[in-house]
Structure 1
Amino acid sequence: MSPALPATKLAAALGLLALGLLLAAGDPVQWVLALAAAVGLVGWAARDLLAPVRLAVDADGITVVRGYAGRRHLPWDVVEAITVDRRTRFGLSGETLEIDAGETLHLLGRADLGAPPTEVAESLLAARP
């Protein structure tokens, strides 16, 4: 994951706080909303810093991020399918890597992977015994 993404989120949080100070001088509701949005952005950036590796593969299986910064190992015999979902919205197309592990479905986008999901899916399928 690019370090620019968490830095951008932190800068946006600071910008929201500054905007809140400028525009919400007499209105505590606007200040609380700006503060809540800034805290959300800081939390999102912290997730990127605490768990930068979202997916790892080895001979035993796949390790995916679980929750905020936890990890879950999926043995190869649990992984039912590895596919890439392609969708077009508002004229923009996006890809999502889907790892189907029976009762759980793990979805990872390009920002999570640091590479196109199609390439990652090909690498995962090649690594699968």
Structure 2
Amino acid sequence: MEFKNIQEDNNCDCITNAYQDNESTYALKTMKDFIRIQDFNSYWDKGKRPVNINDCEEVCSLKGVSVSILNESTKEDVISIYRELFPLAPKYKPYFGIVKFYESSGVVKHTPNDGNIHHYDFYKSDTFDFAKVNVIQIIELHQCLS
């Protein structure tokens, strides 16, 4: 797998300690009841840049797509965290996508933070194709059963 897009425009090695994971399921916040290419755009893809380009922790955070590992032991916690982060509001109806990545889609790195110990950054490979991601289920976030 190549990661020229991740390494472009910075001197950071974002994929150190990252690994390919095609077995685990991950949660992803979406705005529709189906997966779109936009759902895999990182903040960097959307044009956001760090104040300091040499702050590799921030650069790598912006280059990665936020996901959370989802299994029987994390499910309730992850749903609760997502509900808090993405509250229901008029004209705003977040969805909770459950996905598995395919071989050569990219790599994940555990990047826990104060709000979510199950957080991972997903770094797309240069040949990433969102249509090949295995979508297991998409549920309206505030309808999810814990």
TM range (shorter): under 0.3
With a CA cutoff of 8 Å and minimum separation of 6, indicate the structure with the bigger relative contact order.
2
Q: Based on CA coordinates, which of the two structures has the bigger radius of gyration?
A: 1
Higher-helix-fraction structure:
1
Higher-strand-fraction structure:
1
